[in-house]
Amino acid sequence: MPIKDGIPFCVNHSNIQMIRNTGLSAVTSLERLSSGEVNFNPGNGVPVVLYYCDICGYIEMYAATKTPFWDLEKKKP
């Protein structure tokens, strides 16, 4: 997504600022079991900060550990 002065904007609507989802999210790993079923492993994955466009629903994620939000969320009681 285009970032102007540290603010992300939608790739589809270049004048619309993206909205940051509150808190942190995660992309967890997926393991295929021998039975053919899948299992989400929340112990392995990437914490992310999620942004979305309120007009078209475009979503973009950034690794939370590379953003200032990571330290803010870790300090919450």
- Quickly count: other Cβ atoms within 10 Å of residue 51's Cβ: 19
- The parent domain of residue 54 ranges over 3-66
Q: What whole-number distance in Å separates Cα of residue 51 and Cα of residue 55? A: 12
Tell me the backbone φ, ψ of residue 71, rounded to 5 degrees: -65, -35
Residue 48 inside a domain? The answer is yes
Residue 28 inside a domain? The answer is yes
If pLDDT is split at 50, 70 and 90, which confidence band does 13 have? very high
Residue 59 inside a domain? The answer is yes
pLDDT score at 2:
73
Residue 77 inside a domain? The answer is no
Global pTM exceeds 0.75: no
* Structural domain total, the chain: 1
Residue 76 inside a domain? The answer is no
At 14-45, the pLDDT tens digits run 899 999 998 888 899 998 999 999 999 888 88
For residue 26, give every residue at least 6 positions away whose Cβ sits within 8 Å of its Cβ, in sequence order, or none. Answer: 42, 45, 46, 47, 48
Residue 38 inside a domain? The answer is yes
Contact assessment for residue 49 and residue 25, using Cβ atoms and an 8 Å cutoff: yes
Residue 39 inside a domain? The answer is yes
- Quickly count: other Cβ atoms within 10 Å of residue 8's Cβ: 19
At 41-56, the pLDDT tens digits run 888 888 899 999 999 9
pLDDT exceeds 80 at position 73: no
Residue 71 inside a domain? The answer is no
